């Protein structure tokens, strides 16, 4: 509770003294946000804060692309502008000395353009996970839950997490409610998450994630000024890569079950995934056969700290919110990850 009080105080000091809404119970504030008339579009100047990889050296990992993005405003933080269309299209532009970074989402594809490296990263959202043909997500077609249903959902959430009431606040001169959710179990580096939404129309204006070791946000995206509610021109979301830009297609690992017939693979030959521990303090372990073609995508960037795991050298990526660790043994690549400190990850690795 002390950490919550410090965080709320720090947040109140940061956002200023603009108009604040009247206090409300959480279920009522959420219901009002869900039933408010939808806005025709949204744009605002924003600030991204990112301390996730602060102090981590990724510069020598250029062969995997990590070095190219090490100085990206997405990783270092920056100011810029955000546009969101009524149909769900998004554009985020962040300014940086070495070149702006722009992020686009059209309902089907996420495109990230890094001007410093003149590279476009594209990710095709799997069918069923993006927007529908009219641009709206499926949830937009359902009736908002009643206050009673929201109260029931909050009660269930409180069995697993601490949930604050809606704190009257202001973000970028707009009256907002801010709610914080934090885990009620110890052992993880996740301190909590906060969301602030416009009290008049329910539009999110600030989101932040905190570490359990600090009262300052590790990652925060917040509107700062020039908030506008209204239609956004289609031209804002048109994106054509500059001439000579490199295009890299991003593909996520395929899902697999842990029922392998051989060490490090399942019956289909895919890597196996197991979970050690419970809840948010647990550790995921991915085991896969190591081949020359897989090496660049399954190992962590070069230049990271090396630790010994039962006599083997392992690469470790410690962050403010969790840890990744990778090593190879007998032709099998192990990748461990969790919202936990390095000592917890290393203990699990030594027990494999």
- Confidence at 225, pLDDT banded by 50, 70, 90: very high
Termini Cα distance of the chain: 37
**What is the reported pLDDT for 116?**
84
Give the strands of the sheet with 283-289, arranged side by side.
Answer: 272-276, 283-289, 332-338, 323-329, 312-318, 306-309
Whether the per-residue pLDDT at 23 is higher than 90: the answer is yes
What SS3 string covers the chain?
CHHHHHHHHHHHHHHCCCCCCCCCCHHHHHHHHHHCCCCCEEEEEEEEEECCCCCCCCCCCHHHCHHHHCCCHHHHCEEEEEEEECCCCEEEEECCCCCCEEEEECCCEEEEEECCCCEEEEEECCCCCCCCCCCCCHHHHCCCCCHHHHHHHHHHHCCCEEECCCEEEEECCEEEEEEEEEECCCCCCEEEEEEEEECCCCCEEEEEEEECCCCCEEEEEEEEEEEEECCCCHHHHCCCCCCCCEEEECCCCCCCCCCCCECCECCCCCCEEEEECCHHHCEEEEEEECCCCCHHHHCCCCCCCEEEECCEEEEEEECCCCEEEEEEECCEEEEEEECCCHHHHHHHHHCC
Q: What is the token pair recorded at 76?
A: 């270092």
Provide, rounded to the nearest whole percent, the portion of the chain with pLDDT above 90: 64
**What is the reported pLDDT for 305?**
86
Per the rule left: phi > 0, alpha: psi between -120 and 50, beta: everything else, 121 is beta
**What is the reported pLDDT for 138?**
40
Least confident of 16-30, 38-52, 166-180, 283-297: 283-297
Least confident of 15-19, 78-82, 288-292, 347-351: 15-19
- Confidence at 197, pLDDT banded by 50, 70, 90: very high
Whether the per-residue pLDDT at 234 is higher than 60: the answer is yes
The Cα 38–Cα 42 span in angstroms is 11
Whether the per-residue pLDDT at 281 is higher than 60: the answer is yes
**What is the reported pLDDT for 205?**
97
**What is the reported pLDDT for 154?**
96
**What is the reported pLDDT for 198?**
97
Mean pLDDT on 244-257? 75
Q: What is the token pair recorded at 337?
A: 């990850």
Q: Are 160 and 175 in contact (CB under 8 A)?
A: no
Average pLDDT, the chain: 84
- Confidence at 336, pLDDT banded by 50, 70, 90: very high
Q: Are 94 and 235 in contact (CB under 8 A)?
A: no
Residue ranges and CATH numbers for the domains of the chain are 2-249 (2.50.20.10), 272-350 (3.30.200)
The Cα 276–Cα 257 span in angstroms is 15
Whether the per-residue pLDDT at 35 is higher than 60: the answer is yes
Q: Are 162 and 210 in contact (CB under 8 A)?
A: no
- Confidence at 139, pLDDT banded by 50, 70, 90: very low
**What is the reported pLDDT for 133?**
42
The Cα 77–Cα 140 span in angstroms is 32
**What is the reported pLDDT for 59?**
56
**What is the reported pLDDT for 230?**
95
Residue 41's closest CA among 301, 279, 265, 234? 234
The Cα 158–Cα 49 span in angstroms is 28
**What is the reported pLDDT for 134?**
45
pLDDT in tens, 85-97: 999 999 999 998 8
Least confident of 59-63, 113-117, 221-225: 59-63
Backbone φ and ψ for 311, nearest 5 degrees, come out as: 90, -10
The Cα 277–Cα 343 span in angstroms is 14
**What is the reported pLDDT for 135?**
43
Whether the per-residue pLDDT at 263 is higher than 90: the answer is no
Q: What are the residues whose beta carbons fall under 8 Å from the beta carbon of 27, sequence distance 6 or more?
A: 147, 148, 150, 151, 154
Whether the per-residue pLDDT at 304 is higher than 70: the answer is yes
Q: Which pairing describes strands 217-229 and 41-50: parallel, antiparallel, or unpaired?
A: antiparallel
Whether the per-residue pLDDT at 132 is higher than 50: the answer is no
pLDDT in tens, 151-194: 999 999 999 999 999 999 999 999 999 999 999 998 999 999 99
Mean pLDDT on 129-139? 46
Residue 109's closest CA among 131, 94, 93, 92? 131
Whether the per-residue pLDDT at 229 is higher than 80: the answer is yes
């Amino acid at each position: 509770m002390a950490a919550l009080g410090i965080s709320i105080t720090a947040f109140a000091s940061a956002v200023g003294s603009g108009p604040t809404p009247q206090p409300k119970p959480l279920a009522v504030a959420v219901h009002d946000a869900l039933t408010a008339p939808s806005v025709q579009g949204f744009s605002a100047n924003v600030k991204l804060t990112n301390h996730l990889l602060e102090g981590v050296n990724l510069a020598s990992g250029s062969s995997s692309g990590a070095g190219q993005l090490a100085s990206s405003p997405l990783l270092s933080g920056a100011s810029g502008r955000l546009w969101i269309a009524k149909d769900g299209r998004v554009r985020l532009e962040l300014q940086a000395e070495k070149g702006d970074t722009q992020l686009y989402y059209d309902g089907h594809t996420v495109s990230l353009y890094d001007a410093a490296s003149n590279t476009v990263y594209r990710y095709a959202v799997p069918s069923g996970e993006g927007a529908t043909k009219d641009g709206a997500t499926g949830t937009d077609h359902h009736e908002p839950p009643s206050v009673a249903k929201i109260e029931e959902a909050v009660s269930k959430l409180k069995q697993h997490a601490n949930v604050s009431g809606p704190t009257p606040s202001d973000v970028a001169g707009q009256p907002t409610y801010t709610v914080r959710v934090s885990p009620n179990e110890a052992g993880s580096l996740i301190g909590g998450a906060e969301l602030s939404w416009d009290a008049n129309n329910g539009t999110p204006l600030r989101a932040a994630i905190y570490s359990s070791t600090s009262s300052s946000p590790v990652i925060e995206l917040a509107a700062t000024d020039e908030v506008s509610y209204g239609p956004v021109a289609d031209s804002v979301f048109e994106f054509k890569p500059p001439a000579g830009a490199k295009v890299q297609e991003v593909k996520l690992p395929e899902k697999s079950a842990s029922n392998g017939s051989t060490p490090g693979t399942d019956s289909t030959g895919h890597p196996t995934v197991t979970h050690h521990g419970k809840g948010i303090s647990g550790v995921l372990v991915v085991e896969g056969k190591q081949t020359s073609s897989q090496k660049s995508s399954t190992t962590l960037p070069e230049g990271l700290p090396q630790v010994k795991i039962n006599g083997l050298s392992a690469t470790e990526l410690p962050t403010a919110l969790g840890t990744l660790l990778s090593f190879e043994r007998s032709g099998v690549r192990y990748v461990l990850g969790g919202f936990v400190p390095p000592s917890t990850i290393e203990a699990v690795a030594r027990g494999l």
